[in-house]
Structure 1
Amino acid sequence: MKLGLHQVTANELDPIDLIELAASVGCEEVCLFTHIPAAALPDDAGQILFPLVTPEKVVSTKSALDCHGIAVGNAEFFPIAADVDVEIYRSGFEVAAAIGARSAVTHVHDPDDARAVAGLGRLCDLAAEYDLRLGLEFMGITPACASIERAAWFVQQVGRANIGIGVDALHLVRTGGTPADVLKVPASLFAYAQICDGAGLHVTQDYFSEAFERMLPGDGDFPLADLVAALPVGIAVDVEVPSAQRIAANGSPLDFAREAVGRSRELLAAIGKRAR
């Protein structure tokens, strides 16, 4: 399984510094932001919440990736809303393709199933122009697609070859999903997985703050070993463990990332041949 370092695990760093960090902790990939919807910007300061690879930064970012032998797994993020014109994502896809991204992340916010399926189809077609696969993430905070079953339904309804499910451990647990539910989904429908840990196995839609303060693998209650074993063999796995509090406690993003990646590698190694 390829191990990727997600930008939000070291959100204090710009993309080039994240690439260097990923190389130093032994990751094969990074996940970077090439588009951020306006709704994700603060109302007043206008400050971008996530470091962004802009068209102007493509050359320097690609140079850093090539220098360190790091690939780009996912490009974030391209949501489907009721009124979205997917053409607004073209520039973000162009940047993603230019830096060699394999997948682009999407979420479904549109409560109208037929319209959402049509929108996802158009997004798939646009992504295909750039040789990108879509990873559809289900979340309790997006009621239109709030379970792994719903994500599988959307992928099957869209009927495109370049879309699959992105399984985030936090979202799986908080939406009531289990590793057994992952096993019920055909292996061909998965795009990637993301691992972190958390306290308790309760189901809730109110976990936005927890999404940005996650626990290191092994520190919480999530059934991570069973989850990873339920995933298809060879699937890419992202280390997505944002936590400004823990980074401050550990002293540096490097120390925190090294710990997060080390824990993740131990987890993957312990699974051995259990993965399907």
Structure 2
Amino acid sequence: MPHPLGIELLTVLGMGPVDHVTLAADLGCTAVSMGLTQLPMNPHDYPAWSLREDAGLRAELKAVLRDRGVAISIGEGMGVSPEFDASERAADMDIFAEVGAIRINSVDMGVERERALDQLGKLAEMAHARDMEFTIEFCPAFTIRTLGEALEAVRHIGEDKASVLIDSMHFFRSGGTVRQIAELDPALIGHVQLCDAQRKGIGNYLQEAMTGRLIPGEGDLPLREFVDALPRGKTLGLEVPLMAQAQSGQPAAEYVAEIALKTRELLA
């Protein structure tokens, strides 16, 4: 398969960073997305963890990334908010740089457009100063809703400092087409997250995005064509939080392995 796979933070539902990397490597995946603290969703009751507060955990994470040949494709949890300024993220940026994150990803969280662009620009500059890339994720429920709007934000910030994160659910639900991907400058695609979904959602969009995504091949999205249109070799971060399986007591290693297997079968 021309696209390596990664396991996104949301997929492992609260698992600690070292175990997350180990599981990804055991499944033949080469990347993970990573936050600095445990997600609120923790159906497996994993022990609480924080890369901010635990220098020993940061050292363990760096060691397992090196030993297992896994990269942190994106640092997560850096969304733009009306409550604080991007400058307050400096310490978090330093930690992501310390553990070797390739890029920082941000979303606008529904912030007013002018402030969103200003704050995203500041985050991009901070990432650039630390030799990390920066991606902007669009979502139909936020201010930057579509690929076109995300590209406008990238141009505003500067294509040398930012690119887009394309999440397959957000992309198709916001009206995106495979042709758009095929015609897009590959340099503008910083990261890709892959899941399946129904073409039209029912109910709360963000709730579905957090808990109702489907394994690739089990929904209506044209994922094979989508992936074929991507630049060859682009890592596909699997973002499929199977909450029902987790709440039923099925071990994460089992359902995450199923996600990776079925994705490989779809794309073979």
TM-score band, normalised by shorter chain: 0.7 to 0.9
Q: Which runs of 5+ in 1 are unaligned?
A: 270-276
Structure-2-length-normalised TM-score: 0.87
Displacement after TM superposition at 1:9 (Å): 0.9
Structure-1-length-normalised TM-score: 0.85
| Structure 2 match to 1:72 | 72
Q: Which runs of 5+ in 2 are unaligned?
A: none
* Mapped contact 1:176–1:202 kept (Cα < 8 A): no
Aligned alpha-carbon RMSD (Å): 2.5
Residues 131 and 5 of structure 1, relative CA distance in 2, 3 Å threshold: same
User: Is 1:246 matched with 2:245?
Assistant: yes
| Structure 2 match to 1:208 | 206
Residues 230 and 51 of structure 1, relative CA distance in 2, 3 Å threshold: farther
Residues 76 and 152 of structure 1, relative CA distance in 2, 3 Å threshold: same
* Mapped contact 2:181–2:230 kept (Cα < 8 A): yes
User: Is 1:156 matched with 2:158?
Assistant: no
* Mapped contact 1:121–1:160 kept (Cα < 8 A): no
* Mapped contact 2:242–2:255 kept (Cα < 8 A): no
User: Is 1:10 matched with 2:12?
Assistant: yes
1-structure distance, mates of 2:248, 2:108: 35
| Structure 1 match to 2:125 | 125
* Mapped contact 1:55–1:95 kept (Cα < 8 A): no
Displacement after TM superposition at 1:162 (Å): 2.7
Identify the range of structure 1 (103-112 vs 17-26) with the bigger mean alpha-carbon deviation.
103-112
2-structure distance, mates of 1:58, 1:71: 14
Counterparts of 1:144-223 in structure 2 under 5 Å? 144-199=143-198, 201-202=199-200, 206-211=204-209, 212-223=211-222
Identify the range of structure 1 (7-16 vs 80-89) with the bigger mean alpha-carbon deviation.
80-89
Aligned residue pairs, count: 259
User: Is 1:20 matched with 2:18?
Assistant: no
User: CA-to-partner distance for each residue in 1:69-104, whole Å, 9 max, x for gaps?
Assistant: 211111102122345311221122111111111111
* Mapped contact 1:197–1:216 kept (Cα < 8 A): yes
1-structure distance, mates of 2:63, 2:106: 27
* Mapped contact 1:93–1:127 kept (Cα < 8 A): yes
2-structure distance, mates of 1:227, 1:51: 36
SS in 1 for 2:79: coil
User: Is 1:228 matched with 2:227?
Assistant: yes
Letter in 2 for 1:146: R
User: CA-to-partner distance for each residue in 1:170-192, whole Å, 9 max, x for gaps?
Assistant: 11122222222323432221101
* Mapped contact 1:32–1:74 kept (Cα < 8 A): yes
Displacement after TM superposition at 1:250 (Å): 7.8
> After the TM superposition, which segments of 4 or more aligned residues of structure 1 sit over 6 Å from their partners?
none
User: CA-to-partner distance for each residue in 1:20-60, whole Å, 9 max, x for gaps?
Assistant: 11111110111110268xxx869xxxx99x96432522111
2-structure distance, mates of 1:111, 1:10: 28
| Structure 2 match to 1:274 | none
